[in-house]
Every structure is written in C-alpha cells, then in structure tokens.
Amino acid sequence: MPVLRRGFLGTVTASADHKATLAYAKLALGKMRALRAPCDPRSFAAWFTYTTRCSPSHNVLVNQTISRQGNISVAEIETIYGYAPVDVIADNVQWTTAGVIDELGQAVAMMAAAAGIVAGYRGDLGRLVRELDGVHDPKRVGAIVDGLIQATRSMEASNEAFTTALEALRQEIGEAREKAQTLRVDSLTDALTQLANRACFEHELDRCMATSDATNDGLCLLLMDIDHLGKINTTFGHTAGDEVLRVVAHSLKQHVQQNDVAARIGGEEFAVLLPKIPLRAALTVGDHIRSRVMAMQFIKRSTGEGMGRVTLSGGIARHRRGESPWELMRRADHCLMAAKRHGRNRVICDDDALVTA
C-alpha cells in the first residue's frame, strides 16, 4: 500500500503521484522560464496550477491572454486563478506588526519603570527600618513614621497611575489582536464577494478530501461559472459585472450549509465543497443556485437599463478515494466545460453521458 504524505494542494501518494508532482513542477518552472515570469512562490503556485490542468477553463484564459499580448503579468495570472493581491496583504501585515511591536515596547518600558519604583520603595522602607532600630526619641520616631507614610502614599499614587496605564495598554493590545484576526480573515477572503478566496479554497479542499478518505463519508465538488460575464462587462461596464459577481456569491451563501465551503476561485468561477452528500443531492444544490440566479432581474443602477437574464453553468464531481486534489478539480471542470458545450445554463455531474459525448 503506497504511503500518503501531505503536499501542495493536498494529500498525494509517495509513488506515482509523487513523480507526477515533480513532473508538474518541472513543467511549471519551464513555463515560467520561457515567459521570464518572476520566480517567487506565488508565481510558482499559479503556474503549478496551470500545468496540472485541474482548471482547463482558467488555462484557456491564460492561453488567450498570452496569445493576445505575447505574455501574461503576475497580477493577471493571479487574478485568473483567484489569488489575493500580495501587496495588499504585505502592507496590512507590516502595518499590524509595527503596531504590535510599538505596543509591546510600551509594555516593556512600563514594567521597567514599575520595577524601578518598587525597588526605590523597598530601599526607602529598609532605610527607615534601620533608622528606627535603637531610636528612643519620640520626635525622631514620629519623623521616621511620617517619612514611612509619605513613601507609602507616593507608592500608592504610582501604583494607581501604573494600573491605569496598564489597563489602557491592555485594551490597545486587545485591539491589535482583533486587527491581526481581521488580517487573517482578509487574507483568506475574496474582497469583492466576501467568499473564501483561492488560497483558502485549496486549504479547505485538502482538508475535506483528507476527511473524506479517512471517514468514507463522501465529498462533492461543485464548480459554477457565470455565462458571458465578459459580454456584460463590455456592454454595461465592469461595475455592473462586479455587482453580478456579488449577487451570484450571495446566492451561493444562501444554499450552503454550516460545513460547506463556498469560494471564488477565479474571475467568474466559483466553487462549493459539499461534504457528506450524494452526487444527486449536490446536483440539486447546483440547480437551485442556477435557478435562483436565472430568475433575477438585473438592472444597471446608474441608468435603469435592463441587463437581461444572467445564467450559470456548473459541473459536479464526486471525490474518489485516494485521488489527488487537482484530479478532482480537473474532473469537475470537465463537467463544467460539458455544460458550456451543451448550451450553458445547466449543471452536469461526472456520471452524465454528456461529459464524454
């Protein structure tokens, strides 16, 4: 029995799949070299996805872009495959990290100051105790006691000020923690639709497939693509196209359950992971989403102009025990492309004869 290991885009076998992974990596590096693409991990991840051919429809967009302009930028290929802009993430990380470092520096300075105050108070107490030892003059004893009271009151005032400052700093650190949590969520969320982004989807696909393999509970992958979104962008503008994307995303949210994962994985393509569900039930989910969007009336807000009916095409594949994530993606995308070939505005499963027609 082949040994399983964790790797890029999921769990793969250490025999044949390991060789396939290395072959895909070699192809990705070759493509990057030929196009003089930046050799960084994010670019490699996008080109690795390209060479696995797990999303043929996205590959078509990449090829069309290269054919049209002779090359493709990092931003363009990352947009096609649904990766979040790296500069936004980096700027947010730098800003949050700088704030946390500053607040921790303040905390250290406050603690050092408090330690100094306590040490001074301890020294005053020691000195006054030594002066009391052997003193019998009442006036002198009274003076020493007055000094002790004064030192104690000064310590109490310093302690109160320290407590107030510490509470304010505690609140600031709590806010920094919330900012860090927001940053973590933002790094896994598509900014336009508020669905999971490509990076989050790949992580969840990996996790869901591992769970399905372990429990044999089943897993279906639904891919959905907006029909003719490019025509909508050309005719009515990209703002209208963005609104269509938001509406479709909202429709997906309305039909997913607690353990499902809905994501935007490309410009106009969405994915839904449906654990513990049979293939025909997944088909029902896809058809409900498709019907909901098709029944809507889309109007351009700025002009009141009707935009016509918006339709979706979808493809569904059921996870096969032991297969790689990109193989599941490839099968679901083939179903999606079959739906496109056979008239669009439909959802096709991988057991449908139209897939191989």
Structure-model confidence comparison of residues 3 and 148, the more confident one: 148
The pLDDT assigned to 22 comes to 79
Say which CATH topology domain 198-356 has.
Alpha-Beta Plaits (3.30.70)
DSSP state of 68: H
Nearest one of 3, 7, 5, 4 to 203, comparing CA atoms:
7
pLDDT tens, residue by residue, 193-204: 999 998 889 889
164/59: higher pLDDT: 59
Segment 244-271 mean pLDDT: 91
Q: What DSSP element (H or E) covers 93?
A: helix 86-132
CA distance 224 to 290: 9
Q: What is d(CA 209, CA 261) in angstroms, rounded to the nearest whole number? A: 13
Q: Is the pLDDT of residue 241 over 70?
A: yes
Res 32: pLDDT: 85
Q: Which residue has the higher pLDDT, 148 or 332?
A: 332
Place of tokens 């493509």: 31
Which is more confidently placed, 235 or 112? 235
- The per-residue pLDDT of the chain, averaged, comes to 78
Closest residue by Cα to residue 233 from 251, 248, 245, 249: 245
22-26 mean pLDDT: 81
Summarize the confidence of residues 19-48 as an average pLDDT: 80
pLDDT tens, position by position, 91-105: 454 445 555 556 555
pLDDT at 91: 47
Residues 209-224: tens digit of each pLDDT: 999 999 988 999 999 9
- Interatomic CA distance for residues 117 and 112, integer angstroms: 9
Query: What confidence score (pLDDT) does residue 149 get?
Result: 72
More confident residue, 315 or 119: 315
pLDDT at 105: 57
pLDDT value, residue 63: 87
Give the confidence band of 187 by pLDDT, cuts at 50, 70, 90.
Answer: confident
SS3 133: coil
Active site residue 76: no
Q: Where are the domains of the chain?
A: 4-80, 86-187, 198-356
47-60 pLDDT per residue, tens: 887 887 766 777 88
DSSP E strand boundaries for the chain: 4-7, 10-13, 219-226, 261-264, 269-275, 299-300, 305-306, 312-318, 347-349
Could you tell me how far CA 103 lies from the centroid of its own chain? 26
Tell me what pLDDT residue 13 has.
39
pLDDT score at 340 = 93
| pLDDT score of 123 | 67
Statement: residue 183 has pLDDT above 60: no
Rg (the chain; Cα; Å):
31
Is the torsion defined by CA of 206, 188, 225, 266 positive or negative?
A: negative
280: pLDDT strictly greater than 80: yes
Catalytic residue selected from 78, 202, 243, 268: 268
Q: What is the pLDDT of residue 206?
A: 92
